[in-house]
Amino acid sequence: MRIIDAVSRRAAAGKPFLSLEFFPPKEREFRPGFFETVDRLRAIEPLFVSVTYGAGGSSRANTLEIAAALAERGLTPMAHLTCVGADAASLREFLENLRAAGVCNVLALRGDLPQDGSGSLGEFVHAADLVRFVRREFPDFCIGVSAYPYPHPESVGFTQDRRATAQKFAAGADFAVTQLFFDHREYVAYVESMRGLGVAAPILPGVLPVQSLESLRRILSLSGCNIPAKLYLTLEEAQQKGGSEAVREAGIAFAVEQIRRLLESGAPGVHLYSLNKADMCLRIASEIGRL
Ligand code: FAD
């Protein structure tokens, strides 16, 4: 099933949804545990499930195999795909294999540049180049792209970054999933400004439940997004009073409130960064009344 069709149907019916992001287990021995997690999360009835793609193509086969296995289980998967340093032949092969496995949804990404500044970008400089390629060679595919309520760390500023995202839609993208953020008003303002740039497509907010202060610091340094002072102080206080368990609880409580506010603000649904954690996702789904 094409995700854009499913999202449009739910939006027309006024029925918001949850979708889930998974990362493929690195080692095969962890796959049974991973599929147990997936099976438990069926209770949420995710509209679709996305499978991340290792930087530099390190887990290309993993992404493909896991997406194929999720399709076999009757779910609607979307494979992430990065194009930095890739050539057309390898991208074509990946997409052909995906199609053969019954998966026709792809999140077209540029990917992170090598940290040491080495390596050339190759034929595909921006994610829009990959979108154009997929649209031309795989016209039956549904194409998702990334979107940044707080601009991407490399960008010059809000306006340039939003125009760059609009170019991905001009190139043929069907919908976007946002980078994590913590203030629902950032999403509302972002959607408004994208509509102002002529983008009418669905923009799905990505929500990450904070699990620990260490992971939060790592994520903030990678994504460059903002954290509201109130949330940071709440997490810090939780750490002092109740340790890591209290931080996790506070992170979940915040995610629940954020999702409620996003749905009240008109988001068609929420893409939950599952961290492959069934209990956490089931708890969140239950608290927002989705179970
Ligand atoms: P782009 O959209 O190409 O943007 C990258 C930068 O280039 C931005 O600063 C943008 O403003 C600028 N830019 C874009 N087009 C132009 C243009 N025409 N002219 C000038 N500047 C331009 N990474 C992984 O490795 N694996 C994953 O599975 C993965 N999943 C992700 C899922 C989501 C929802 C998100 C938001 C990110 C994900 N990432 C993943 C991270 C992503 O690969 C990085 O953020 C990467 O640095 C940028 O990729 P992009 O597709 O957003 O790039």
pLDDT of residue 103: 98
Span 81-90, pLDDT tens digits: 999 989 999 9
Question: Using CA atoms, how far apart are residues 57 and 85, in angstroms rounded to an integer?
Answer: 9
Q: b/e for 126-150, b at 16 or more Cβ within 10 A?
A: bbbbbbbbbbeebeebbbbbbbbbb
Span 203-244, pLDDT tens digits: 999 999 999 999 999 888 888 888 999 999 999 999 999 999
Nearest CA to ligand 1 atom 40: 111
**127: CA distance to ligand 1 center in Å?**
6
Sorted by sequence, the CB contacts under 8 Å of residue 231 that are 6+ apart come out as 182, 210, 254
Return the SS3 of 201: coil
Q: Is 21 one of the catalytic residues?
A: yes
| Beta strands per DSSP E along 142-268 | 142-147, 175-178, 203-204, 206-207
pLDDT of residue 114: 78
Question: Using CA atoms, how far apart are residues 226 and 220, in angstroms rounded to an integer?
Answer: 7
Nearest CA to ligand 1 atom 9: 155
Nearest CA to ligand 1 atom 39: 111
- Ligand 1 close to Cβ of residue 167 (< 6 A): yes
Spell out the per-residue pLDDT of the chain, length 291, in tens. 999 999 999 999 999 999 999 999 989 999 999 999 999 999 999 999 999 998 544 578 899 999 999 999 999 999 999 999 899 999 999 999 999 999 999 999 999 887 776 655 688 999 999 999 999 999 999 999 999 999 999 999 999 999 999 999 999 999 999 999 999 999 999 999 999 999 999 999 999 999 999 999 988 888 888 899 999 999 999 999 999 999 999 999 999 999 999 999 999 999 999 999 999 999 999 999 976
Angstrom CA distances, 236 to 219, 243, 247, 250, stand at 16, 9, 8, 10
Helix or strand holding residue 195 (H, E): helix 184-196
In the chain, what is the straight-line distance between the N-terminal and C-terminal CA atoms, in Å?
23
**27: CA distance to ligand 1 center in Å?**
26
Task: Give the single-character DSSP code of 44.
Answer: G
Pocket test for ligand 1, best of 22, 82, 83, 109 (most atoms within 8 A of CB): 109
Nearest CA to ligand 1 atom 22: 164
Pocket test for ligand 1, best of 60, 63, 106, 126 (most atoms within 8 A of CB): 126
Instruction: Please compute Rg for the chain using Cα positions.
Output: 18
Specify burial of residue 288 (Cβ count, 10 A radius: 0-12, 13-18, 19+): buried
Sorted by sequence, the CB contacts under 8 Å of residue 56 that are 6+ apart come out as 84, 85, 111, 114
Nearest CA to ligand 1 atom 26: 53
**33: CA distance to ligand 1 center in Å?**
30
- Ligand 1 close to Cβ of residue 258 (< 6 A): no
**11: CA distance to ligand 1 center in Å?**
26
Closest ligand 1 atom, residue 53 Cα: 28
Catalytic residue among 21, 45, 96, 236: 21
- Ligand 1 close to Cβ of residue 111 (< 6 A): yes
What's the gap between Cα 285 and its chain centre?
A: 17
Specify burial of residue 289 (Cβ count, 10 A radius: 0-12, 13-18, 19+): exposed
**121: CA distance to ligand 1 center in Å?**
13
What residues pair up with 272 in beta bridges, in sequence order? 20, 207
User: Hey, what are 4's tokens?
Assistant: 């854009």
- Ligand 1 close to Cβ of residue 128 (< 6 A): yes
Question: Using CA atoms, how far apart are residues 249 and 129, in angstroms rounded to an integer?
Answer: 41
**224: CA distance to ligand 1 center in Å?**
12
What residues pair up with 225 in beta bridges, in sequence order? none
